[in-house]
Structure 1
Amino acid sequence: MLTLLNLLSAVALLVWGTHIVRTGIMRVYGADLRRVLSRSVSKKPMAFMAGIGVTALVQSSNATTLLVTSFVAQELVALTPALVIILGADVGTALMARILTFDLSWLSPLFIFFGVVFFLGRKQSRAGQLGRASIGLGLILLALQLIVTAATPITHAAGVKVLFSSLTGDVMLDALIGAVFAIISYSSLAAVLITATLTATGVISFKVALCLVIGANLGSGLLAMLNNSASNAAGKRVALGSLLFKFIGSLIVLPFINSLPNLLHKLPVNDEDLVIFFHVFYNLIRCLIMVPFAGTMAQVCERLIRDEPETDQRLKPRYLDPSALDTPALALANAARETLRIGDVLEQMLTTFGKVVHGEQRQDREIRKLDDDVDVLYTAIKLYLAQMPKEDLPEDDSRRWAEIIEMAVNLEMAGDIVERMSSDVADKSLTARRAFSVEGMAELEALLDQLVGHLRLSLSVFLSRDITSAKRLRRAKHRFRITNRRYSYKHVERLHQQNVQSIETSSLHLGLLGDMKRLNSLFCAVAYNVLEQPDDERDEE
């Protein structure tokens, strides 16, 4: 039992090491890798090579699949080149499997030692993240060594020999077990490595080992489908295409599985290495053959998975790409873009509120819908940023994280205020048939126009973090407060003059002036964040 636990923990360590490498590489080179993928889609050979290169760096075809899926989901990359990149990723992960199975155990302590030194010494810097990747690579090499060590005594157990002795002839059953093996271990590399160990100790025949390898590749495709089960239709098509390519490849090679062992045994290589080489060349040949049919596969996937009908009319997040979370700069940029969308919705609310003030009571319901959209985007941004702990970010990114959160909160509060203002006007003015005075209406219109301008300027300051624009916004805030105060005095003068309309709408009018003052403060708060930047950042601006 202890030996089995050692094996399972070694497999878990392998998966964890792969995750650490991917995180470190994505945080340092994530933007560059995304740029490589997005610019390599014009020609299939370039897309294929990009898939190999990116996967070799991040040590995971699943990570490459997530990147490509996000591109397709955002309609930045077509499905055909995306499938070509995925085929290249399959070759990349097979090549890395061959490299990692060399006797590199002596490198493991070096990678871990220097990685820890750099990571703890300069955790938030580029060197620290490369140290993180070094730790992950060392853990991968250590895990591979532990897998072999733990699997060896298991292969000598009588129960294991009896269990695997049943894998003697049913090709489809053997392949299915290999797929299950890959899913359970969450790594086709671990499944292939354990299969090679079982072959070297004579527990399974070479023919069965080849079936298990083919099944392990199929299992990695099933894993991709499971990982993208919650994705939209575009993302599911990428995973389905990858799975179908692997399924077709297995159907083509399995009928020849009886003759392959005799052919491969002519090579001067032991059975254990032959399993690894078969894994590499099977993926290489399969993917090269499948590349010309990527367009056809894309059409098949589009027919099998249709776009879901839009039943929810609420606005949905557009830029919050989960695969960008490993690259903080990109993830923060995505969150900032989504925050700008809240600003766009809020501008619609202010414009619509102007119609409500002019007597269009039906527009009050439109404002409520728009406020629901604001709440949806705000919640999505908040949960997205919550997946990026502020304490793990570099100082600049941590400051930007806080700015985005504060801006999103302010805009959400502003949306609530506009909704309440609209409801007050609808209930206390339109329903009660009490109209604002001509002068009061003109004052509200003037303030509303200023609010729209200040909102636009605040969004510009939030995006550019420009010092000059921030000072301009701060001055605009003070001018608005002075204007608001002057309009309050004028309203009191109209009350003194016994203006009937002003008397009837007095509490509503003064309440709207106060709400507009709060809106202006929320819009202009971003200016103070920019002006409080450290001196070195101001110099860079």
Structure 2
Amino acid sequence: MKHLLNLLAAIALLVWGTHLVRTGILRVFGANLRQVLARSISNRYTAAVSGIGVTALLQSSTATALIVSAFVGQGLITLPLALAVMLGADIGTSLVTVVFSFDLSWLSPLLIFTGVVMFISRSSTNVGRFGRVLIGLGLMLLALRLVSESTQIMVQSPIVQALLASISSDLLLEITVGALLAVLSYSSLAIVLLTATLASTGIVPTEMALGLVLGANLGSGLLGVLTTARSPVEVRHVPLGNLVFKCLGVLVAAPLIGVWLRELRPHLADDVSTVVLFHLSFNILLALLFIGVVHPIGRAVMQMLPKPQRIANGRPHHLDPSALGTPSLAISCAAREALHQADVVETMLLGILTVLKNNDLRLAEELRKLDDTVDELYSAIKYYLTKISREALGEEESRRWTDIISFTINMEQIGDTIERILMDIEDKKIRKGRSFSDAGMAEICELHARLIDNLRLGMSVFLNGSVRDAQKLLEEKARFRDLEHAYASTHLERLSGNTVQSIETSSLHIDLISDLKRINSHICSIAYPILESAGALAPSRLRSDVLATSKEPI
């Protein structure tokens, strides 16, 4: 029992080390990896090469699948090119397996010690995050040595020998066990390394080890499908296509296991080399077979999983759960959804003027219902952002996280204000059959037009972070305030002239221009984080020289 627990602990340590490396690389290089993928994917061959490089760093083809799937979901790359990336990604993780198959246990203490020092001393920086990667690499090497030591004792047990004999008699069972282990451990890399180590100690026959390797590859494809099960259809296409590659590859490779053992095993150094090189050869074979047919496979996948007819509603379109493992990608998804929320607010704002001019009660009711959509989007974005690990965010990403929260809060408050404006228009104008004077309506139209322009400028500032546009937006706040004061004064002049229409709509008119000013203030708030980070904000608007000379009453 003690030796079994030692083996299970070593396996758990191997899986955990793989997790540390994958998440650490994503935290340090996540945004850069996305840029490399986005810029290098020009054709199927460069896509495959970029997949090899990125996955060699991540040590996880599943992580690469999630990143590429999100790209497809956002329309940044086509499905065939994404499938080509995945063919390269599988080769990349196989190359990492070959590297780890060498005896590098002597590096384990050095990596763990260096990683711990870096992580403790500068945990919130990229240096500390890279230290986390070194810790993971050291734990993986340590775990492989512990697995080898534990299995050398267990291989002598008659019970273990009988159990392995029952499994090794059925190739389909071996593949199933390998796939199940890969899904449970969330890492085909860990399972292939474990299988190679077990084969080297004799606890697992070499023929059975190759069956487990095929199963681990199949489990890797299945893992991507399961991870993206709740994502939009466009995102699910890539893992499904990759799983199709894996299934076809297993069908081709399974009958060739005997040929591999008979023809190539005599030329290989040991059982470890036999296992890891079979894993590498399998994925190279997959790439050679399918790199030329990614377009037909892509079309077949889209037929297997067709896109539903998209209906305009308030449901989140861009909050991809599978992107949460890559914080920089999740931040991008949240920003896109925030812009979708702003689009709904713009629709509400545009509709106000139509309601005012045409006394359209039906449109007013539809616009007020859109406020529920704005509120739902705000809640969804906020909840999505809370699931992103703040520790995994760099300084710039953390600031972007805050900007998105602030932006969505402002949009939600604008939606509430518009709903209140519409209710006032219904109660104080439409149902009472009143109308604004020509001069009064012209003033409202002027403020409304400026408000629409400012909202669109604010969306641009949020998207691009332009300091120049942010300054322009803040200048519009002062102009809007001056206009509001001027129009309030001219309205009072019309009241003193006993203009009947102005008298009847006075309360609504004053409230309306005040609410429009309030909406403009929320829009202009988008500029503050941009200007503050650029150091373009003054500490205070108060004039200290005036305050110093003023005397408070006793």
User: Is TM > 0.5 for Structure 1 vs Structure 2?
Assistant: yes
Question: What does residue 179 of structure 1 align with?
Answer: 179
Question: What does residue 441 of structure 2 align with?
Answer: 441
Aligned mates of 1:441, 1:536 — CA distance in 2: 37
**What is the TM-score with the length of structure 2 in the denominator?**
0.87
Please give the residue correspondences for 1:117-516 in structure 2 after superposition, counting only pairs within 5 Å.
Answer: 117-310=117-310, 313-314=313-314, 316-318=316-318, 322-323=322-323, 326=326, 328=328, 331-358=330-357, 359-390=359-390, 393-516=393-516
Post-superposition shift, 1:505?
A: 2.8
Post-superposition shift, 1:57?
A: 0.8
Question: What does residue 15 of structure 1 align with?
Answer: 15
CA deviation map 1:359-395 (0-9, x unaligned): 2333213423543443344334323332334465444
Post-superposition shift, 1:413?
A: 0.6
Post-superposition shift, 1:494?
A: 4.0
Q: What 5-or-longer segments of structure 1 have no aligned partner?
A: none
Post-superposition shift, 1:59?
A: 0.9
Question: What does residue 84 of structure 1 align with?
Answer: 84
Residues 7, 229 of structure 1: alpha-carbon distance in 2 compared, 3 angstrom cutoff: farther
Post-superposition shift, 1:23?
A: 3.0
Residues 227, 494 of structure 1: alpha-carbon distance in 2 compared, 3 angstrom cutoff: same
CA deviation map 1:437-478 (0-9, x unaligned): 333322222221222233233334444545554444334323
CA deviation map 1:501-527 (0-9, x unaligned): 334333333322332222122112233
1:68 is the counterpart of 2:35: no
Residues 313, 114 of structure 1: alpha-carbon distance in 2 compared, 3 angstrom cutoff: same
CA deviation map 1:207-228 (0-9, x unaligned): 2222222122112221121112
Aligned mates of 2:401, 2:212 — CA distance in 1: 46
Question: What does residue 544 of structure 2 align with?
Answer: none
Q: What letter matches 1:504 in structure 2?
A: E
CA deviation map 1:248-267 (0-9, x unaligned): 12212223434443334422
Farther off after superposition, 460-469 or 518-527: 460-469
Aligned mates of 1:158, 1:505 — CA distance in 2: 94
Post-superposition shift, 1:536?
A: 9.6
Assess if the C-alpha contact under 8 Å between 1:225 and 1:240 holds in 2: yes
Identity of aligned residues (%): 44
Aligned mates of 1:537, 1:275 — CA distance in 2: 62
Residues 350, 135 of structure 1: alpha-carbon distance in 2 compared, 3 angstrom cutoff: same
CA deviation map 1:88-107 (0-9, x unaligned): 11111111111112111121
Aligned mates of 2:87, 2:464 — CA distance in 1: 39
Aligned mates of 2:224, 2:460 — CA distance in 1: 40
Aligned mates of 1:319, 1:287 — CA distance in 2: 32
Question: What does residue 545 of structure 2 align with?
Answer: none
Residues 528, 188 of structure 1: alpha-carbon distance in 2 compared, 3 angstrom cutoff: closer
CA deviation map 1:35-64 (0-9, x unaligned): 332334333322222111111011111111
Root-mean-square deviation (CA), in Å? 2.9
Assess if the C-alpha contact under 8 Å between 1:222 and 1:243 holds in 2: yes
Assess if the C-alpha contact under 8 Å between 1:70 and 1:321 holds in 2: no
**What is the TM-score with the length of structure 1 in the denominator?**
0.89
Residues 409, 205 of structure 1: alpha-carbon distance in 2 compared, 3 angstrom cutoff: same
Aligned mates of 2:536, 2:478 — CA distance in 1: 28
Aligned mates of 1:244, 1:464 — CA distance in 2: 39
CA deviation map 1:114-139 (0-9, x unaligned): 22333333334443333332222222
CA deviation map 1:326-358 (0-9, x unaligned): 353x65455444434433332332221111111
Q: What 5-or-longer segments of structure 2 have no aligned partner?
A: 539-554
Assess if the C-alpha contact under 8 Å between 1:118 and 1:131 holds in 2: yes
Farther off after superposition, 278-287 or 316-325: 316-325
Farther off after superposition, 509-518 or 251-260: 251-260
Farther off after superposition, 43-52 or 374-383: 374-383
Farther off after superposition, 403-412 or 389-398: 389-398
